[in-house]
């Protein structure tokens, strides 16, 4: 039995920009059709071996950002 892995090619402008961005997406990988979310940290957090200090910004998947925002690690957006 062989396992095949399907990979998607970026089709939307946001996906293309995300794959070519110099800043990597931290945490779990993006799912198909998701665009990374730029967030600001409210507390110190270590993600994937990188220390994220309060006030710093990073790109995260929307699901992971929602989880961290609910736990109080991310600053709430204005809107």
Residues 5-58 have pLDDT tens digits of 666 655 566 665 655 457 889 999 999 999 999 999 999 999 999 999 999 999
The structure's pTM equals: 0.68
Q: What pLDDT, on the 0 to 100 scale, is given for residue 37?
A: 93
Cβ atoms of residues 73 and 41 within 8 Å = yes
DSSP letter string over 2-40?
Answer: ------PPP-SHHHHHHHH-SSPEESSPPPTT---EEEE
- Does the domain at 36-79 match CATH 1.20.1070? Answer given as no
Q: What pLDDT, on the 0 to 100 scale, is given for residue 23?
A: 80
Domain ranges of the chain: 36-79
Collapsing DSSP to helix, strand or coil, 50 comes out as: strand
Q: What pLDDT, on the 0 to 100 scale, is given for residue 63?
A: 94
């Amino acid at each position: 039995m062989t396992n095949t892995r399907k990979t998607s090619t970026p089709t939307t402008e946001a996906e293309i920009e995300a794959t070519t961005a110099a800043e990597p997406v931290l945490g779990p990988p993006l799912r198909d059709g998701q665009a990374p979310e730029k967030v600001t940290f409210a507390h110190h957090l270590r993600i994937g071996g990188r220390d994220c200090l309060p006030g710093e910004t990073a790109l995260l998947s929307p699901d992971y950002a929602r989880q961290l925002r609910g736990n109080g690690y991310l600053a709430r957006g204005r809107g």
